[in-house]
Amino acid sequence: MKTTVISVHTGSSRGVTDITAEAATFVAGLGDGLLNVFVPHATAGVAILETGAGSDQDLMDILDDLLPRVDQYRHRHGSPGHGADHVLPGIVAPSTVIPVLGGKLALGTWQSVVLVDPNADNADRRIRFSFVAG
């Protein structure tokens, strides 16, 4: 297995960050296999999503509807409503697996690999890429 950890600076913004290019660079030339993308954080997830056409903001809007930024959560620290961030991985998983064919991600035409990060309290994220040859 080949593995690496990349860092993504999200700053104080909440949202979706496209990490497809970083994933593609990692698997380039590795042949056939599977890429696991894992976010080792309790308040972020990974998704495969169309970006640039509004779906990324739609996802954040839906997450805000499902997990409102209010003080109703038992987990209370950080910014108001931060407890919602700790529920996120139950909805948006902290990992995903992508087929790799000939050293290229086997994504659909409009699919991108994204970090979903609703937590404005954590400005830096780590993402682990692990490739298992097939």
Place 71 in a pLDDT band, splitting at 50, 70 and 90: confident
Among the listed residues 38, 47, 46, 32, the one whose alpha carbon sits nearest the alpha carbon of residue 103? 32
What's the pLDDT at 11? 81
Contact yes or no for 110/116 (Cβ under 8 A): no
pLDDT at position 28 over 90: yes
Which CATH number fits the domain that encloses residue 97?
A: 2.60.120.460
pLDDT tens track for 37-66: 999 999 999 999 999 899 999 999 999 999
pLDDT tens track for 2-18: 999 999 998 888 899 99
What's the pLDDT at 13? 80
How are strands ordered across the β-sheet holding 33-38?
A: 2-9, 124-133, 33-38, 95-101, 104-105
116 lies in which domain range? 2-133
**CA distances, 107 to each of 4, 23, 86 (Å):** 21, 11, 29
What's the pLDDT at 78? 67
Considering the entire predicted model, what is its pTM?
A: 0.92
- Residue 74 φ/ψ, nearest 5 degrees: -70, -35
Q: Into how many domains does the chain fold?
A: 1
Q: Collapsing DSSP states into helix, strand and coil, what is residue 60?
A: helix
pLDDT tens track for 75-124: 767 676 778 888 899 999 999 999 999 999 999 999 999 999 998 888 89
What's the pLDDT at 125? 95
Q: Provide the 10 A C-beta neighbour count for residue 28.
A: 11
More confident residue, 98 or 72: 98
Contact yes or no for 26/4 (Cβ under 8 A): yes
